[in-house]
Structure 1
Amino acid sequence: MTDNLNIRFAEGDDAALAECFTAHGALVRSYLRRFVPQQEVEDLQQIVFAEVWRSRHRFDPARSLPAWMLGIAHKRAVDQLRMRTLRTVPLDVVADPAGDDGRIDGDGMAERDQVRWALTKLPGPQRQAIELAYYGDLTQREIAERLSVPLGTVKARTARGLRRLSDILTPAAA
């Protein structure tokens, strides 16, 4: 039956596309979830199937149709991720909050400068997670979606980074 579907699909049978979607739609959707946020999966799945249909003349019916489709899905997921731009807030443009009397607190500025310096000592992924959380005002789930990494990875990076910051800043406070 699969060979028959492969041949019919390669020949351009419209009904074969519908069968292909029924048979392999869940696989493609599941695969895409590994790369893009949940809210983008369905749209990207439609893009994948449109390209699968447009590219059917390149499909070899002797090969695996699901594997060929996942190759296209992978390319579209990478394209989707490349179109994104990470919006981080550079530390040097973060406004210093005024004190209770409306003036900038000198001690607070010194502490902020120490924290900024300490952040530069962190590995990039840890620094990025902390900056997005504290300066970008994102939740850990939002950070995970933005960076396309698992939530547990964001939690681990943040925890390790904060521990390191504490170690770096503790000698300076003593």
Structure 2
Amino acid sequence: MNETLEYRLAAGEETAIGDCYRTHAPAVRSYLRRYVPPQDVEDVLQVVFTEAWRFGHRFDPARSLTAWLLGIAYKRAVDHLRVRTLTTVPLEAVTEPTGHDGRDDGDVLADRDRIRRALAVLPDAQRQAIELAYYGDLTQREIADRLRVPLGTVKARTARGLRRLSLLLAPAAT
């Protein structure tokens, strides 16, 4: 008998959903942030794992558990966005904006692009550690577990990668 998380979930083992949540919630949460407003991410995340628990018997353990969970997450995010009602304000009630006027948006987008390009230059191991930490919201211990490497290796990769990123992103001397 196979004892992987996938098989345990499909078999309806009680502890499987907790292990599934601990293992996959950070990735699903990060995925949901692309679609759902920040204040609703945790609610949709709970719906995703409730559905995974209720319908785990439908999961084919020969397939990717992550892909199955992200498929559920996408469907629940779409459902969530469909049912929400957006507040509309009459045009007459809108005054001139104060503070942020949109001129900085181009700078923000340019910074994101510079960071994306700089990350692409890093060695795969350093980039992966940084992306899991900053975009995947994982702790260094979780990254070490996910990558199956020692914690010290994750710390070294992250430190080297961040040091290299700071050099790549430093303003050019004129």
Q: TM-score scaled by structure 2?
A: 0.52
Query: Which residue number in structure 2 is paired with residue 105 of structure 1?
Result: none
Letter in 2 for 1:67: A
Native 8 Å contact 1:89 1:136 kept in 2? no
Native 8 Å contact 1:89 1:135 kept in 2? no
Deviations 1:25-72 (A, max 9, x none): 101111111111211111111111000111112110000001000000
1:18–1:138 distance in 2 versus 1, CA, 3 Å: farther
Structure 1, gaps ≥5 residues long: 96-133, 141-150, 157-174
Q: Shift in Å at residue 3 of structure 1?
A: 6.9
Query: Which residue number in structure 2 is paired with residue 75 of structure 1?
Result: 75
Query: Which residue number in structure 2 is paired with residue 27 of structure 1?
Result: 27
Native 8 Å contact 1:7 1:61 kept in 2? yes
Compare the two structures and name the one with the higher helix fraction: 1
What are the equivalent positions in structure 2 for 1:46-125 lying under 5 Å apart?
46-91=46-91, 94=92
Q: Shift in Å at residue 18 of structure 1?
A: 1.0
Q: Shift in Å at residue 15 of structure 1?
A: 1.2
* Superposition misfits of 4+ residues, deviation over 3 angstroms: 134-140
Tell me how far apart the structure 2 counterparts of residues 72 and 136 of structure 1 sit (CA, whole Å): 41
Aligned residues: 104
Letter in 1 for 2:86: L
Q: Shift in Å at residue 20 of structure 1?
A: 0.6
Q: TM-score scaled by structure 1?
A: 0.52
Query: Which residue number in structure 2 is paired with residue 144 of structure 1?
Result: none
Q: Shift in Å at residue 87 of structure 1?
A: 1.9
Native 8 Å contact 2:10 2:60 kept in 1? yes
Query: Which residue number in structure 1 is paired with residue 6 of structure 2?
Result: 6
What are the equivalent positions in structure 2 for 1:139-150 lying under 5 Å apart?
none
Specify the structure having the higher radius of gyration (Cα): 1
Native 8 Å contact 2:24 2:66 kept in 1? yes
1:138–1:21 distance in 2 versus 1, CA, 3 Å: farther
Query: Which residue number in structure 2 is paired with residue 41 of structure 1?
Result: 41
Q: Shift in Å at residue 86 of structure 1?
A: 2.0
Tell me how far apart the structure 1 counterparts of residues 96 and 84 of structure 2 sit (CA, whole Å): 16
Alpha-carbon RMSD across the aligned residues, in angstroms, is: 3.0
Percent of residue pairs bearing the same amino acid type: 54
